[in-house]
Amino acid sequence: AQSVSQHNHHVILSEAASLELGCNYSYGGTVNLFWYVQYPGQHLQLLLKYFSGDPLVKGIKGFEAEFIKSKFSFNLRKPSVQWSDTAEYFCAVGGNQFYFGTGTSLTVIP
Amino acid sequence: DAGITQSPRHKVTETGTPVTLRCHQTENHRYMYWYRQDPGHGLRLIHYSYGVKDTDKGEVSDGYSVSRSKTEDFLLTLESATSSQTSVYFCAISGNGEAFFGQGTRLTVV
């Protein structure tokens, strides 16, 4: 069965700290991988995506993620977080259906 | 933002009543989805559609039905609302392999 696991449920960081959010997946077909962000009170927006090619993908707002096939992982990183990055982050795997992790709530303290 | 409109945005209803949520898209995408979002569970797929009159169940389909009579509209019906269906419901569409989300409908069943 397809599944997505996010290891961190709630992360608290100070501004300028580095961020890494873990994501592991189980999927039987060709993998399309995504990270979405949900700011308070808003809908999900795409941060970045991986379909094929370079396993290091860059997204909006300085985020990047690395696809490691041997580890079934797609971890999200940002070198220096800002207060405005406070949000919930969802990892997802998709084909015709999309499967989401349970989300990681990130709080950035000014 | 992708052209997705959900209606209503907020609704309070009584236990046992039927409720219909509407998702309207202007992107002419083939795939449409209904998710519910609950704390600790992330987004869970209720039903999805891969074309007019073509629908299939997701992981939490009990108590829900859907219909898609036109490409642009995907309706979600709670046949007899229960308190466990209090949630935020998101519609999504899929084009070019990625999902785009509507603004959400907050449903409260009292």
Residue A97 pLDDT exceeds 90? no
Looking at residue A41, its amino acid is G
Cα distance between residue A24 and residue A3, in whole Å: 8
Residues 6+ apart with CB under 8 A from B91: B4, B6, B21, B23, B32, B33, B34, B35, B74, B76, B101, B102
CA distance B86 to chain A (A): 16
Give pLDDT tens digits for A23-52. Answer: 999 876 777 999 999 999 899 999 999 999
Distance of CA A54 to the CA centre of its chain: 17
Residue A96: list chain B partners with CB under 8 A. Answer: 31, 48, 50, 94
Q: Does A103 touch chain B (CB under 8 A)?
A: yes
Residue B1 pLDDT exceeds 80? no
The predicted model gives A70-83 an average pLDDT of 96
Residue from A72, A65, A15, A1 nearest A37 by CA: A65
Residue A2 pLDDT exceeds 90? no
| From B43, B50, B100, residue closest to A100, measured CB to CB | B43
Cβ within 8 Å, pair B58-A98:
no
Confidence tier at A1 by pLDDT (50, 70, 90): low
CB A73: neighbour CB atoms within 10 A?
A: 18
> The tokens of B45 are what?
């797929």
The predicted model gives B88-108 an average pLDDT of 92
Cα distance between residue A43 and residue A30, in whole Å: 27
Percent of chain B with pLDDT over 90: 88
Please say whether the beta carbons of B34 and B76 come within 8 A.
yes
Cβ within 8 Å, pair A98-B50:
no
The predicted model gives A81-94 an average pLDDT of 95
Highest-scoring range by mean pLDDT, A4-8, A102-106, B41-45: A102-106
Cα distance between residue A96 and residue B89, in whole Å: 20
The predicted model gives B102-106 an average pLDDT of 96
Residue A80 pLDDT exceeds 60? yes
The predicted model gives B3-24 an average pLDDT of 97
CA distance B14 to chain A (A): 24
pLDDT of residue B2: 66
With CA atoms as reference, the chain A residue closest to B105 would be A43
Residue B58 pLDDT exceeds 70? yes
Residue A65 pLDDT exceeds 80? yes
DSSP designation for A101: -
| From A43, A96, A100, residue closest to B102, measured CB to CB | A43
